[in-house]
Amino acid sequence: MAETNGHANGTNGQHAVGTRTIRPDGVDKVTGRARFGADYNLPGQLVGRVLRSPHAHARIVSIDIRKAEALPGVKAVITRDDFPDQPSEFIPAGEMMMNYKDVVRNVMAREKALYEGHAVAAVAATSVAIARKALKLIDVTYEVLPHVIDVVAAMAANAPLLHDDLFTAGVEPKPDKPSNIAKRIEIKLGDVDAGFAKADLVVDREFKTAPVHQGYIEPHAALATVSEDGTTECWTTTQGHFIVRAHCARLLGLDIGKVRVTATEIGGGFGGKTVVYLEPLAIALSKKAKRPVKMVMSREEVFKASGPTSGATVRVKLGATKDGKFVAAFAELKYQAGAFQGSPVQPGVMCAYAPYDIENVHVIGYDVVSNRPKVAAYRAPGAPISEYAVESVVDEIAKKLGIDPIQLRMMNAAREGTKAAYGPKFGPIGLEETLNSIKKTEHWNTPLRKWQGRGVASGFWFNIGGETCVSLTVNEDGTISLMAGTPDIGGLRASLAAVAADELGVPYDKVRPIIGDTGSLGFNFLTGGSRSAFSGSMAIVEAAKLIKADLIARAGKLWEAKPDQVEWRDGAVRPLGALAEKVKPMTVADFAKVAGKTGGPIAGLGRINAQGAGPSFGTHLVDLEVDPETGRVTILRYTVAQDAGKALHPAYVEGQYQGGAVQGIGWALNEEYIYGEDGKLQNAGFLDYRMPVASDVPMIDTVLVEVANPKHPYGVRGVGETPIVPPLGAIANAIENATGIRFTELPMSPPKVLKALTDKGLNKVS
Amino acid sequence: MAKHHVEAIVNGDPVEFLCETEETLLDVLRETLHLTGSKEGCASGDCGACSVMLDGRLVCSCLVLAAEVGGRRVDTIEGMATGETLHPLQQEFLKHAALQCGICTPGVLVAAKALLDRNTSPSETEVRYWLAGNLCRCTGYDKIVTAVMDTAAAMRKG
Amino acid sequence: MRYEAPESLEGAVALLAGAKGETRVLAGGTDLLVQMRADIVEPDLIVDIKKIPETRAIAEEKGGWRIGAAVTGAELKEHPRLKKVWPGVIEAANLIGSTQVQGRATMGGNLCNGSPAADSVPALIAAGAVATLAGPNGKRDLPVEDVMLGPRKLALQKGEIVASFLLPPRPPRSSDAYLRFIPRTEMDIAVVGAGVSLTVDGAGVITAARVALGAVAARVLLVPEAAQAIIGGRLDKPAQDRLEAAAQAACRPIDDKRGTVEFRIQVAGVLARRAALIALDRARSN
């Protein structure tokens, strides 16, 4: 384990980092006191509800709101007329790109309703009953159009067109006819044709996945209040309140400085709460009604009107020598973006072969619109899909060449210095360590019985840094107030408090972390890209540096010392040399008592655009059992080995590994959006959108690998997203191991498994 | 249509409220009694985030009409701690990091307490099946199950 | 929307018989409240039957058991003797939903919701349970298999409610079992359900049997041919194969988001066989 700047082993005198502290926001969460999105209320607030399109694709000919507006108790009704149009402009939005022209249309349908559930109008009323009645009084005239759902069907030449101004980008010559194919991208390394010519074995397969939802238990909720001078306050459950502020200001023509957004506690996001749905509506309604407006989505609305991730068709063609060296890798990814362009096909392309050192790589990706909700990010967006396909083919190659699947991956593993096909050269990375860890587990060495199978798969996410601003304040009694600007979705405050405590040499429980609103800090990019602990801790180190420099200067004045007679070490400012006989060291708490006399409040702002995010590699191992008479798959045992760089809080890092693995289990076995011929979603609830329950999964064992990221003061790598990348491949590989059948379509639900077994005459227990 | 006038006991305290027929117990807990610890995740009894005890029976409050609870006893997450002392389950959940976002936590704690009140030494399988009605999307259930079993062991010791 | 909680069967019947507009009976509410929230139904009158003593009682009657229509699954499970006599009925009622749902759901509601996928119904039918209805013309009995006519269609007249179920006396060496197929381990609606009740003689030969299948037709089916396939033997492999075939032949399922026609037929046979084996094992040790 590499040393990095002495931070990793607590030379500041304290040792909270790396230990299993109690999270500071924990008591409120176990007592029901913590306030999530729907728990906020303002006096005089109105109830906001949304009218949604019942059609998958329709022109909106007219909207008549007069009867709704006239209903007693209705204080405002809004439609597309309340949102100015936005010109087309692509803006980076973390790991994906977005375009405000599309955002304004997704938030409120304009020319067309592009999916069942698309918002068409909204009302604010004095009660739920009146709001519901008002929605029924809104008269919308639709011209129903043919719809298209499946990504391949949407790419066909005669498919129903969603946007007549969408021309495929990335193809030459520029097309003159609009299409549902928004974009074609590709990455190339070397020469795949030459590579395939050298291969002794080529496996070429096509895979299909269905859209799946992030499945956060807390529905979207927003509360907004707008004053007569345009001052706007909004409380919302979000992964990025600064982003919400930016979107709402832009969509409604407000000064950013006049909009203050508070991130409530958030009940799950996984990428799905990085965009706006209700906030612009609540603000627009509040502006019109001149009263606060509260809006909460029902579970059905969450499924129908918030973005799942793409369904996709993926072709993978991988060539290897008979000794197992990968010599050529090709893939073609067709990802469905939903109603507006912007699927995660780019990261899908980037991540597909990233775990491997391959000389010749060619990956093509298509971003395709279809009449489904606009996709939103879902934990390592795009990567689980492409890596499911690649890891399945890697497994097939291992089997055909008679090489152990871990051994095969080791032989081809990306290492420090490997050039990834999407561009960068890797610094120190932990893929091999995770593979070795898995090999050493008791799990790997436990024998299996008939109808049981074992599968392994690796995966990766590149992780991001980004704009971060935190403030550290020393209070009069020596306690520390830490204000971060990235919503805490899973234990962040505990990790950041530990870093602040160790940096300033104070006990952990003397640090009180909060998530500040947009008015309290400089811009913070959202919680996503596995960035919040990585960037937040980096910014805290910067803020602490400022404070320590300030304290050294104050000590210099107090002790009448020269700079070379004073240093910060082991949690205090210390006199050096002869001075040490005259004065005693002073801790942060000591300075707090004399802050006013020595220059005023002690505080530091850490303001960075965090760079140097290190990728996190993981390898998963799963044992499962197939019931050949029913096709039911039972997960028996699961181990995750993943590189965290440095686990600021081991329990919450383990939690990320376990949570992502179980989401992957659901995705692999049972979760999917089921559409009827009419383009309507048939399973818009937790009954038939089948996420894993407690009895569906075993304990998820974890191995914390730590290959320090040299670009972070503590060696931290983001960990939140990688865990969902390997499960799909690992489970498909385990089912192949148990049954001899390779499933190339997800989910691998019982009817599919049973049919495949029956077709081969294998559906008998004995 | 006149509202129903209901008197009940919530977390040991007598309460009195008016409600429409179609309001659920969850609606009244959150909107009328301002006890927002019970959460709405689905309003269809599929996620357990609204779990409460009704006369000592674990139920989804979204599936109970508020009008039905007259003369009955409701216990929510807000009543789980005793004064400043957290229930052993609450303490173990914090110790084990058995929560990440925390939205499912109130429902899981109420359900887990209902289990331990009946069964002081549940097996892992019994814990998992008892909690199958409490969806969690963040933790993968591992640390939740460990926390419940460790609490059972600690409570058995004394 | 009116809510009434009568304290007698006559009171409930009078309310239901005299009501205009949409009326619904409320027992556990685990279907009704979901349907109300989804705007599938907007009742003008809700009649809560839980204050009526006959709907809440469990008592022995003429060697059998009378179970009130509004007894919850959890209460059934906690009864000290029922699960020894009718383990299949009890386990079926306790597969509905989650622990929370079982704290409220009732067999009366499960039957009268009119879903062919109801979990307790195949077990009740296999058991030979008889529903006692109370209505404006008094009480009458109906075998449970005759109560559900199709999805959301019941053989009840206006004003009639199911008040209780009578499980018949149990000959010695009898037992039952219920199995269902769901994709997860809990929480799903049955894709297929199979209830089997049987009696064996001193030599272990099956002398009586009833087999019922759920979620494979427009109503829960009693399948006499499946029972015939195993009566007179010890459920050896050929009998199991005949049982499986008979069960499959009786199925008339649909394709929906929970299962395909093919899958349901195939699994119905598998579950009928497995449930019969469990019931046999239980009967032998009784």
Q: What is the pLDDT of residues B102-138, one digit of tens each?
A: 999 999 999 999 999 999 999 999 999 999 999 999 9
Asked if A27 lies within 8 A of B94 by C-beta distance, the reply is yes
Residues 193-222 of C with CB under 8 A from A: none
Which residue does chain C place closest to A748, by CA atoms? C183
Judging by DSSP bridges, how do beta strands B57-60 and C45-48 pair with one another?
unpaired
Interface test with A, best of C35, C99, C119, C263 (most A CBs within 10 A): C263
Question: What does the DSSP assignment read for C80-113?
Answer: TTHHHH-HHHHHHHTTSS-HHHHTT-BHHHHHHT
B60 CB within 8 Å of a chain C CB: yes
Closest CB to A693: pick one of B37, B49, B132: B132
pLDDT at position A422 is: 85
Query: Are A454 and A622 a contacting pair, CB within 8 Å?
Result: yes
Chain A nearest C-alpha distance from B111 (Å) = 13
Q: What is the mean pLDDT of residues A237-256?
A: 96
Q: Give, as one character, the DSSP assignment of residue B31.
A: I
Closest CB to A299: pick one of B43, B76, B100: B43
Closest CB to C100: pick one of B51, B65, B68: B51
φ, ψ (nearest 5 deg) of residue A320 = -140, 155
Collect all residues of chain A within an 8 Å Cβ-Cβ radius of residue C257: 674, 682-683, 688
pLDDT at position A8 is: 38
Domain B88-157: CATH architecture, name and number where available? Orthogonal Bundle (1.10)
Asked if A659 lies within 8 A of B144 by C-beta distance, the reply is no
Give residue-wise pLDDT tens across range C67-84.
999 999 999 999 999 999
Query: Are A303 and A681 a contacting pair, CB within 8 Å?
Result: yes
Q: What is the mean pLDDT of residues A462-483?
A: 97
Asked if C74 lies within 8 A of B20 by C-beta distance, the reply is no
Closest CB to C36: pick one of B1, B22, B54: B22
Collect all residues of chain A within an 8 Å Cβ-Cβ radius of residue B138: 268, 489-490, 655, 659
pLDDT at position A307 is: 87
pLDDT at position A4 is: 32
* Mean pLDDT, rounded, of chain A: 95
Q: Per the structure block, which two tokens stand in for A240?
A: 């990025």
Q: Is the pLDDT of residue A7 over 50?
A: no
Q: What is the mean pLDDT of residues C144-172?
A: 97
At the fourth CATH level, the homologous superfamily of domain B4-79 is Beta-grasp domain (3.10.20.30)
C188 CB within 8 Å of a chain B CB: no
pLDDT at position B22 is: 95
Asked if B143 lies within 8 A of A651 by C-beta distance, the reply is yes
Closest CB to C270: pick one of A630, A634, A749: A630
* Mean pLDDT, rounded, of chain B: 97
CA distance A489 to A526: 11
Chain C nearest C-alpha distance from B39 (Å) = 15
Asked if B21 lies within 8 A of C50 by C-beta distance, the reply is no
B113 CB within 8 Å of a chain A CB: no
Give residue-wise pLDDT tens across range A717-745.
999 999 999 999 999 999 999 999 999 99
Q: What is the mean pLDDT of residues A455-483?
A: 97
pLDDT at position A94 is: 60
Phi-psi region of A266 (alpha: psi -120 to 50; beta: other; left: phi over 0): beta
pLDDT at position A632 is: 97
pLDDT tier, A97 (very low <50, low <70, confident <90, very high otherwise)? confident
B129 CB within 8 Å of a chain A CB: yes
Chain A nearest C-alpha distance from B74 (Å) = 15
Residues 13-72 of B with CB under 8 A from A: 20, 30, 35-44, 46-47, 49
pTM greater than 0.80: yes
Asked if B133 lies within 8 A of C38 by C-beta distance, the reply is no
Asked if B139 lies within 8 A of A655 by C-beta distance, the reply is yes
Which residue does chain B place closest to C96, by CA atoms? B133
Closest CB to A630: pick one of C257, C260, C267: C267
pLDDT at position C278 is: 98
Q: Is the pLDDT of residue A5 over 80?
A: no
Q: What percent of chain A has pLDDT over 70?
A: 98
Contacts of A578 (CB under 8 A, 6+ apart): none
Beta-sheet strands, E only, within chain C: 2-4, 23-26, 45-48, 58-61, 64-68, 130-135, 138-143, 148-150, 153-154, 161-167, 174-181, 192-200, 206-214, 221-222
Interface test with B, best of C41, C100, C113 (most B CBs within 10 A): C100
Q: Is the pLDDT of residue C187 over 50?
A: yes
Query: Are A514 and A625 a contacting pair, CB within 8 Å?
Result: no
Neighboring chains of B (3 or more beta-carbon pairs < 8 A): A, C
Closest CB to C258: pick one of A688, A754, A763: A688
Query: Are A168 and A403 a contacting pair, CB within 8 Å?
Result: no
Closest CB to A630: pick one of C181, C185, C262: C181
pLDDT at position A93 is: 67
For chains A and C, CB pairs below 8 A equal 54
Give residue-wise pLDDT tens across range A745-755.
999 999 999 99
Domains of chain C, first to last: 174-284 (3.30.390.50)
3-state secondary structure (DSSP) of residue A370: coil
- Any idea where the domains of chain B sit in the sequence? 4-79, 88-157
Question: What does the DSSP assignment read for B98-126?
Answer: --SS-SSHHHHHHHHHHHHHH-SS--HHH
The CATH number given to A26-34+465-610 is: 3.30.365.10
Collect all residues of chain B within an 8 Å Cβ-Cβ radius of residue A30: 86, 90, 93-94, 99, 102, 105-106, 109
Taking domain A428-463+614-766, whether its CATH number is 3.40.50.720 is answered by: no
> Could you count the other beta carbons within 10 Å of the beta carbon of residue C53?
10
Beta-sheet strands, E only, within A323-451: 326-338, 361-369
The segment(s) of chain A belonging to CATH 3.30.365.10 are 26-34+465-610, 428-463+614-766
Count Cβ atoms within 10 A of the Cβ of residue A760 and give its class: 0-12 exposed, 13-18 middle, 19 or more buried. exposed
Query: Rounded to a whole number, what is the distance in angstroms from the first to the last CA of chain C?
Result: 50
Give residue-wise pLDDT tens across range A512-563.
999 999 999 999 999 999 999 999 999 999 999 999 999 999 999 999 998 8
Q: What is the mean pLDDT of residues A410-425?
A: 93
Q: Is the pLDDT of residue C35 over 50?
A: yes
Burial A703-738 (b: 16+ CB within 10 A, else e): bbbbbbbbbbbbbbbbbbbbbbbbbbbbbbbbbbbb
Asked if A298 lies within 8 A of B43 by C-beta distance, the reply is yes
Q: What percent of chain C has pLDDT over 70?
A: 100
Contacts of A452 (CB under 8 A, 6+ apart): A623, A624, A625, A626, A636, A738
Q: Give, as one character, the DSSP assignment of residue A122.
A: E
Query: Are A348 and A354 a contacting pair, CB within 8 Å?
Result: no
CA distance B36 to B61: 12
Closest CB to C266: pick one of A683, A688, A754: A754
Give residue-wise pLDDT tens across range A273-318.
999 999 999 999 999 999 999 999 999 999 999 989 999 999 999 9
Collect all residues of chain A within an 8 Å Cβ-Cβ radius of residue C266: 754, 758, 763
Nearest Cα to A172, choosing from A161, A162, A186?
A186
pLDDT at position A766 is: 72
Asked if A490 lies within 8 A of B125 by C-beta distance, the reply is no
Q: What is the mean pLDDT of residues A232-244?
A: 97
pLDDT tier, A64 (very low <50, low <70, confident <90, very high otherwise)? very high
pLDDT at position A143 is: 98
Interface test with A, best of C248, C270, C271 (most A CBs within 10 A): C270
Neighboring chains of C (3 or more beta-carbon pairs < 8 A): A, B
pLDDT tier, A11 (very low <50, low <70, confident <90, very high otherwise)? very low
Task: Give the CA angle between residues B6, B8, B14 to the nearest 5°.
Answer: 120
pLDDT at position C60 is: 97
Q: Per the structure block, which two tokens stand in for A548?
A: 């320590």
- The reply to whether domains B4-79 and B88-157 share a CATH topology is no
Contacts of A481 (CB under 8 A, 6+ apart): A471, A472, A473, A475, A512, A514
> Is the previous residue joined to A54 through a cis bond, with omega within 30 degrees of 0?
no
Asked if B63 lies within 8 A of C104 by C-beta distance, the reply is yes
φ, ψ (nearest 5 deg) of residue C163 = -95, -40
Q: Is the pLDDT of residue A12 over 80?
A: no
Interface ipTM = 0.98
Which residue does chain B place closest to A665, by CA atoms? B140
Give residue-wise pLDDT tens across range C9-33.
999 999 999 999 999 999 999 999 9
Judging by DSSP bridges, how do beta strands C148-150 and C153-154 pair with one another?
antiparallel
Asked if C1 lies within 8 A of B22 by C-beta distance, the reply is yes
How far does Cα C109 stand from its chain's mean position? Answer: 10
Task: Give the CA angle between residues C270, C271, C276 to the nearest 5°.
Answer: 105
> Could you count the other beta carbons within 10 Å of the beta carbon of residue A604?
22
Which residues of A have a CB under 8 Å from any CB of C? Answer: 300, 629-632, 634, 669-670, 674, 682-683, 687-688, 690, 692-693, 695-696, 749-751, 754-755, 758, 763
Nearest Cα to C283, choosing from C85, C103, C42, C10?
C85
Q: What is the mean pLDDT of residues A257-265?
A: 98
The amino acid sitting at A534 is F
* Mean pLDDT, rounded, of chain C: 97
The amino acid sitting at C44 is D
Query: Are C80 and B114 a contacting pair, CB within 8 Å?
Result: no
Q: Is the pLDDT of residue C117 over 50?
A: yes
Which residue does chain A place closest to B80, by CA atoms? A31
Chain C nearest C-alpha distance from B63 (Å) = 6
Give residue-wise pLDDT tens across range A65-89.
999 999 999 999 999 999 999 999 8
Stretch (H or E) spanning A437: helix A431-440
Neighboring chains of A (3 or more beta-carbon pairs < 8 A): B, C
Asked if B21 lies within 8 A of C3 by C-beta distance, the reply is yes
Q: How far, CA to CA in Å, does A603 sit from each of A488, A532, A608?
A: 22, 21, 16
- Beta-ladder partners of A425: A419
Query: Are C176 and C281 a contacting pair, CB within 8 Å?
Result: no
Query: Are C199 and C173 a contacting pair, CB within 8 Å?
Result: yes
